[in-house]
Amino acid sequence: MKNYKNINIRFILLLSLGIAIISGCERDFSDEVQFATFNNNGDIFTDAPVGLTDEFFDSFDPAGPNPANPEGFGTDDNVAFMGTSSIRIDVPAPDDPDGAFIGGIFLDRGDGRNLTGFDALTFFARGSTTATIGEVGFGTDFEENKFAVIAQNIRLSTDWRKIIIPIPDPSKLIQERGMFFFSAGSQSTGGFGYTFWIDELRFEKLGNIAQPSPAIFLGQDISNEVVNGMEFMITGLTQTFNLASGINQTVIAAPGYFDFSSSDNSVAIANESGEVIVVGAGSSSITAQLANVGAAGSLEVTSDGVLPTTPPPARLDANVSSIFSDAYTNAVESNFEPPFGGSVTNLQRLQENGDEVLVYTNNNFTGIVFNNTLDGTDRTTLNIDVYPLDASSVEVQIRDVGANQVLETNVITGLPDGDDADRRLLINGLTPGQWTSVEIPLDGDLAAQKNNLGALILAGGPNFIFDNIYFFTE
Amino acid sequence: MIMKYLQIKTIPSIALKSLMAFSIAFLSGCETDESQTVATFTNLVLDENFDTEGAPNGELWSFDIGTGIDGWGNQELQYYTDRPENVQVQNGVLLITAREESFEGSAYTSARLITKDKFERRYGRFEARIRLPFGQGIWPAFWMLGADIDENPWPGAGEIDIMEYRGQEPSVLVGSIHGPGYNGGDAISKEFTLENDRFDTGFHIFGIEWGPDFINFYVDDVLYNQLTPEDVDEETDGEGLWVFDKPFFILMNVAVGGTFVGPPNTETQFPQTMIVDYVRVYEN
């Protein structure tokens, strides 16, 4: 009985507290205050666009390095799943002069829509052939893309088929302008163009989308050695729902849907953009939730604390041609983030005690491409100070680009092509947690050809720090 | 058939009589024009609420253990146990949990509860409130077998499947009867699809109203099928026998794999738990 009474008293206390707070709210927000509520119409295209911008279709950049083809978009009054008209998309062949792929977004013409009452974007699709659409989604607005969602590899049938793209967490979408997103090329059709139609495009409340299983890092538990000041993104963000068909539909979800947390904020901070910033020595586990469901996957960061200073470079200026070092004037400027297709490398320039270093994370391959070639005839060796962040190895390829001054690489073998030559060294076995000066002699194929040194190619790792990159004469 | 199901509020109430009149009208597809006797079941004779923590009440429930013959006749993949890992009463509900683990030569474990020799009845309203598991290859069931099965082997004993469900079709319920001339893949079945909802996200009531010459199948407030001896005659060209005028016992289980659902795949998440809030039986 005593317990019972206590509970009652506590309950009354809680209740009165609640009343106080509630009445406080009533005072603050009087009748004169009106909260903005946005259009909650889910329709996007039925027989015509519904509430979209006058442009209707906003293409990806037709003039960029990978130009989108804006010509293949339209509506078709001869084909419809329901009613009289559908959206028709003609996917170009890779050699189409107007661009090799088609893609873009549909934007709400107003301030955005309230989609909290829906659980999926749905539409009917039909292809001229059984192709696969690369990406389809919503939430991309060409601004913040804060709640972007992408479903990949949507399989077309030559008959109409309903496509369901679940919303990772509808409660986030109180004002969304990005109504639809797609990107399609001819990868799945062996380079032949094809047509697909979309009809009855809308947000819907299906009620049978369930069993959410969100993930970060694609559900993997990974661990990384880091140093203070490092910043990197939490990647591999997905949400998976079980549909009524029994299919588990996974979508790529923007960081905005997740709540990230760090088990020790004195070691690392995880912010709402999905960025991790290392602030102190020790270990911290980075995890996430999506709509209060714990995400599979985690990142354990172990910080060595402040990055130690590099071994002081002691060679005479006259004997050095520097690429990257605070100790020497650069002999040539370089592009540290060359647009190598397929590269997923992250590079962070980290300042510590007035010294700038190059922090590479998630490296598959990247390069340091010199703006002008360097005549290395008088140089004998390349120095790189390396601070490994994991036990794996990184390969450095010193490239002479030859008289034509063009970096030429065989895309199949990765070996130098044309008049190029290189010298490669796999850097491994270094002691973690300390700097090691690695010296690579300019021998092998470079012994006879080093007057047009043009690039350093960095392969593998994936996590390491470089400093004091310079050629010198022994 | 014009209407697939009828909506009613309370099955056992007086409304049932008028409801039956309706159902006869709408089930005219079955071509049975004779009037039928309808029972109302209001006398609660079994009220299992799973209120005692731990193992299920031994005075009511026994267990089938092991793999039976040929995976309980269906090439099911699980080994049934009575361990708390597979069957337990917790917080007022019964948990039947299928796990992926190597056990006695099987790759999965689970549990099957039966009331054989402990609670056997002829006719009545049998219902359970259950939240189902999900995923490819998961096969939960709430069902009944003829109590004379030891002397009169299946399918002679008869089987009433109040609820069967494929984990890969989370919105679809299957209700069936099996007997001589209509069994296994040729059972007399009907599927019911829950519109804009599913069976693995909340509790639903699965039940039958069973009297002389009829079995009504319902879920929540929806009566979705009625089966009679005439249906058996029709479905089997007069070969099948109506074997539902004798006592039956209750079974509840979660099978893994087997002919009805196919094996689990890499996306099937384990463990999977069927949560039973109550089992109730009413008689006249």
B80-90 tens-digit pLDDT: 999 999 999 99
pLDDT at B25 over 60: no
Measuring CA to CA, which residue among B117, B95, B72, B127 is closest to residue B255? Answer: B72
Q: How would residue B60 be classed by pLDDT, with cut points 50, 70 and 90?
A: very high
Rounded-to-integer distance, Cα B176 and Cα B167, Å: 17
User: Per-residue pLDDT tens for B221-263?
Assistant: 999 999 999 999 999 999 999 999 999 999 999 999 999 999 9
Identify the pLDDT of residue B24: 41
Identify the pLDDT of residue A412: 86
Nearest to A208 among B166, B171, B267 (CB): B171
Question: When comparing pLDDT for A29 and B9, which is higher?
Answer: A29
SS3 of B144-194: the string is EEECCCCCCCCCCCCEEEEEEECCCCCCEEEEEEEECCECHHHCEEEEEEC
Identify the pLDDT of residue A345: 93
pLDDT along chain A (474 residues), means of 10: 44 44 48 72 96 96 88 96 97 93 96 97 98 97 96 97 98 97 95 97 97 97 94 95 96 98 98 96 98 97 94 92 96 95 92 92 94 95 94 92 93 91 94 92 95 96 95 94
Please indicate whether, in this complex, the C-beta atoms of B194 and A208 are within 8 angstroms of each other.
yes
Measuring CA to CA, which residue among B140, B266, B166 is closest to residue A248? Answer: B266
Identify the pLDDT of residue B40: 74
Asked if A285 has any chain B CB less than 8 Å from its own CB, the reply is no
The predicted model gives B60-80 an average pLDDT of 96
Cis amide prior to B271 (ω within 30 degrees) = yes
Identify the pLDDT of residue A30: 57
Nearest to A208 among B167, B196, B267 (CB): B196
Q: Are B245 and B47 in contact (CB under 8 A)?
A: no
pLDDT at B13 over 50: no
Please indicate whether, in this complex, the C-beta atoms of A207 and B197 are within 8 angstroms of each other.
yes
Please indicate whether, in this complex, the C-beta atoms of A210 and B168 are within 8 angstroms of each other.
no
Please indicate whether, in this complex, the C-beta atoms of A210 and B269 are within 8 angstroms of each other.
no
Nearest-CA distance A205 → chain B (Å): 8
Identify the pLDDT of residue A153: 97
Which residues in chain A are contacts of B134 at CB distance < 8 A?
210-211, 242
The predicted model gives B69-97 an average pLDDT of 97
| Interface predicted TM-score (ipTM) of this complex, two decimals | 0.80
Identify the pLDDT of residue B3: 36
Cβ neighbours, 10 Å, residue B245: 13
The neighbouring-strand residues paired with B30 are none
Q: Which of A204, A209, A240, A242 to mutate to test the interface with B (most CBs of B within 10 A)?
A: A242
Q: How far apart are the first and last CA of chain A?
A: 89
Q: How would residue B23 be classed by pLDDT, with cut points 50, 70 and 90?
A: very low
Asked if A335 has any chain B CB less than 8 Å from its own CB, the reply is no
Residue A272 Ramachandran class (φ > 0 left, ψ -120 to 50 alpha, else beta): alpha
pLDDT at B160 over 70: yes
pLDDT at B17 over 80: no
Question: When comparing pLDDT for B76 and A35, which is higher?
Answer: B76
Q: Are A239 and A253 in contact (CB under 8 A)?
A: yes
Nearest-CA distance B201 → chain A (Å): 7
Share of chain B above pLDDT 90, in %: 84
Identify the pLDDT of residue B10: 40
SS3 of chain A: the string is CHHHHHHHHHHHHHHHHHHHHHHHHHHHCCCCCCCCCCECCCEEECCCECCECCCCCEECCCCCCCCECHHHEEEECCCCCCCCCEEEEEECCCCCCCCCEEEEEEEECCCCECCCCCCEEEEEEEECCCCEEEEEEECCCCCCCCCCEEEEEEECCCCCEEEEEECCCHHHCCCECEEEEEEECCHHHCCCCEEEEEEEEEEECCCCCECCCCECHHHCEEEEEECCCCEEECCCCEEEEECCCCCEEEEEECHHHEEEEECCCCCEEECCCCEEEECCCEEEEEEEEECCEECECEEEEEECCCCCCCCCCCCCHHHEEEEECCCCCECCCEECCCCCCCCCCEEEEEEECCEEEEEEECCCEEEEEEEEEECCCCCCEEEEEEEECCCCCEEEEEEECCCCCCCCECCCCCCECCCCEEEEEEECCCCCCCCEEEEEECCHHHCCCCCCEEEEEEEECCCEEEEEEEEECC
pLDDT at B16 over 50: no
Residues 6+ apart with CB under 8 A from A180: A44, A45, A105, A106, A121, A136, A137, A138, A201
Please indicate whether, in this complex, the C-beta atoms of A207 and B196 are within 8 angstroms of each other.
yes
Identify the pLDDT of residue A31: 58
The predicted model gives B128-137 an average pLDDT of 98
Four-point Cα dihedral B262, B266, B271, B274, nearest 10 = -40
pLDDT at B11 over 80: no
Which residues in chain B are contacts of A210 at CB distance < 8 A?
134, 170, 198, 200-201
Please indicate whether, in this complex, the C-beta atoms of A246 and B167 are within 8 angstroms of each other.
yes
Which residues in chain A are contacts of B168 at CB distance < 8 A?
246
Identify the pLDDT of residue A35: 62
Identify the pLDDT of residue A19: 43
Q: What is the length of chain A?
A: 474
Just list the catalytic residues of B.
159, 164
Q: Are A219 and A197 in contact (CB under 8 A)?
A: no
Which residues in chain B are contacts of A207 at CB distance < 8 A?
195-198
Cβ neighbours, 10 Å, residue A60: 21
Which pTM was predicted? 0.82
pLDDT at B49 over 50: yes
Name the burial class of residue A41, with classes exposed (0-12), middle (13-18) and buried (19+) by CB atoms within 10 angstroms of its CB.
Answer: middle
